[in-house]
């Protein structure tokens, strides 16, 4: 591990200090957005927000019909992690609470490293984004975050603690993110997976779909999310893949696959979803109609199974999120009914 880390940081230290700048950040004060473009027939409608909704209301309006929504729930705003893991700043942004994480600094976590290699081997400037994943002790990310918030313009690379499984963290950190009641009671309480995401804006997750419903909770900071229904997202994704001469079959939309995070595929996917003046290269074009929202600390987003989405970390300070993937009670009940010939109430999953 030490050799790998040494190689990584020696390599990135030789890279140019110029870091590729993603599209401008969105102010924290901006809650919901709606954008349209007559040139591309694009429309992202603000997502509906449920305020302090009951379990029954969530089930009827979101879970069963499989429709996304922003959730404002008191229980999510008081998660222990929001107060234990982060420290507020005078500018109302947040930093990591390094003292709290110190006892767990040697815990291995998954990191994503991205940097801009501004000079190719032949000596020409190409600003090619370099990307790789690796495991490292938590202190690696903590030290980088501290130095980046102190001297942000001198860091030649970026780290993102991405898709870190909650079950792999020490028990105290797990206890800081208890399962919300809405997850326990909306279905059968069956959690497929829980992942942590922590970074400094701009962060980026490309267009993809998940095999299970997802309750995406924003702990601190802000993230801008755009979502597309299953059929619409598949058409857009297939179009980008076809431009690259690649297949857009069922296994192509791997969650944060390396090919989506760098090179031509990243560029085309990002442009297709986020560039409102994106011009179609096909004669018939594609009509894009979806939803979007900006999530701030304490907000949650329900993403139904199969819905395509892309996410950007925006604003200032640390941005941190939790994704909880869970099984759908409607699907399970149907499967059990078919297998037992009854109501399925006595079957376990």
Q: Pick from 98, 315, 47, 61: which is nearest to 200 by CA? A: 315
With a cut of 80, say whether residue 42 has pLDDT above it: no
Whether 327 has a pLDDT exceeding 90, the answer reads no
Q: Say how far apart CA 142 and CA 144 lie, in whole Å.
A: 5
**Would the pLDDT of 209 be above 60?**
yes
Cα–Cα distances in angstroms (integers) from residue 239 to residues 56, 112, 207, 248, in the given order? 38, 27, 13, 8
pLDDT at 92: 86
pLDDT of residue 127: 61
* DSSP 3-state of 153: helix
Pairing of strands 308-314, 86-88: unpaired
Query: What pLDDT score does 347 carry?
Result: 32
DSSP annotation string for 45-78: EEPPEEES--HHHHIIIIITTT--EEEE-HHHHT
Residue 155 and residue 20 in contact, taking contact as beta carbons nearer than 8 Å: no
Q: Render pLDDT for 238-293 as a digit per residue (tens, 0 to 9).
A: 999 889 888 766 556 655 577 778 888 889 999 999 987 654 444 445 677 899 99
CATH tag, 2-19+32-340: 2.60.120.650
Q: What are phi and psi of 250, to 5 degrees?
A: -60, -35
Distances (CA, A) of 50 to 54, 170, 256: 9, 33, 29
| CA 44 – CA 65 distance, rounded (Å) | 20
Structure tokens at 94: 């947040």
Query: Is pLDDT above 90 for 335?
Result: no
Contact between 312 and 204 (Cβ < 8 Å): yes
Average pLDDT estimate for 132-144: 97
**Tokens 């019909």 appear where?**
65
For residues 112-128, give the mean pLDDT. 62
Q: Rounded mean pLDDT of the chain?
A: 79
Residue 302, pLDDT > 50, answer yes
Q: Is it the case that residue 143 has pLDDT exceeding 90?
A: yes
**pLDDT per residue over 95-111, tens digit each?**
999 999 999 999 999 99
Segment 7-20, tens digit of pLDDT: 444 444 443 333 33
Place of tokens 């404002």: 72
Query: What pTM was computed for the model?
Result: 0.79
pLDDT higher at 312 or 212:
312
Q: Please list the alpha-helical segments (H only) found in 14-117.
A: 55-58, 74-77, 80-84, 98-101
Half-sphere exposure of 243 (CA within 13 A, CB side): 16
State residue 279's pLDDT score: 45
Q: Is the pLDDT of residue 120 over 80?
A: no
Percent of the chain predicted with pLDDT > 70:
70
| pLDDT (average), residues 195-201 | 97
> Taken in order 256, 252, 310, 327, is the CA torsion positive or negative?
negative
The answer to whether residues 222 and 315 touch, using CB atoms and an 8 Å cutoff, is yes
User: Residue written as tokens 């020490």?
Assistant: 170
Contact (CB, 8 A) for 73 and 181: no
Per-residue pLDDT, 198: 99
Residue with tokens 């870190």: 164
Q: In what order do the strands lie in the sheet with 288-295?
A: 35-37, 42-46, 288-295, 222-228, 308-314, 203-209
| Region of poorest pLDDT, from 150-164, 184-198, 242-256, 264-278 | 242-256
pLDDT for 253: 60
* Alpha carbons 188 and 265: distance in angstroms, whole number: 38
**pLDDT score, position 149:** 86
Please give the average per-residue pLDDT across 40-64, as a whole number.
88
35 forms beta bridges with: 44
């Amino acid at each position: 591990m030490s050799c790998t880390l040494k190689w990584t940081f020696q390599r990135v230290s030789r890279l140019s200090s110029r870091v590729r700048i993603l599209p401008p950040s969105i102010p924290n004060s901006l809650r919901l957005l709606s954008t349209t473009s007559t040139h591309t027939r694009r429309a992202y409608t603000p997502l509906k927000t449920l305020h302090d909704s009951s379990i029954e209301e969530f089930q009827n309006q979101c879970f069963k019909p499989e429709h996304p929504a922003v959730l404002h729930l008191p229980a999510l705003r008081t998660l222990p992690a929001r107060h234990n893991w982060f420290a507020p700043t005078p500018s109302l942004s947040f930093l990591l609470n390094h003292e709290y994480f110190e006892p767990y600094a040697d815990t291995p976590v998954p990191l994503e490293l991205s940097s801009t290699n501004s000079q190719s081997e032949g000596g020409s400037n190409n600003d090619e984004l370099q990307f790789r994943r690796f495991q490292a002790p938590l202190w690696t990310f903590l030290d980088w975050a501290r130095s980046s918030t102190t001297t942000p313009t001198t860091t030649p690379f970026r780290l993102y603690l991405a898709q870190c499984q909650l079950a792999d963290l020490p028990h105290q950190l797990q206890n800081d993110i208890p399962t919300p009641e809405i997850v326990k009671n909306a279905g059968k309480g069956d959690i497929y997976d829980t992942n942590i995401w922590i970074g400094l804006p701009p962060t980026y997750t490309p267009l993809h779909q998940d095999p299970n419903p997802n309750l995406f909770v924003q702990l601190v900071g802000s993230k801008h999310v755009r979502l597309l229904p299953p059929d619409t997202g598949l058409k857009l994704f297939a179009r980008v893949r076809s431009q690259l001469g690649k297949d857009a079959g069922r296994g192509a939309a791997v969650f944060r696959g390396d090919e989506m995070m760098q090179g031509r595929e990243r560029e085309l996917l990002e442009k297709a979803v986020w560039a409102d003046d994106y011009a179609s290269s096909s004669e018939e074009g594609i009509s894009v109609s979806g939803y979007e929202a900006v999530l701030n600390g304490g907000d949650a987003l329900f993403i139904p199974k199969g819905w395509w989405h892309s996410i950007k970390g925006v604003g200032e300070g640390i941005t941190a999120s939790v994704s909880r993937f869970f099984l759908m009670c409607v699907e399970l009940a149907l499967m059990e009914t078919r297998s037992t010939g009854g109501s399925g109430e006595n079957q376990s999953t």
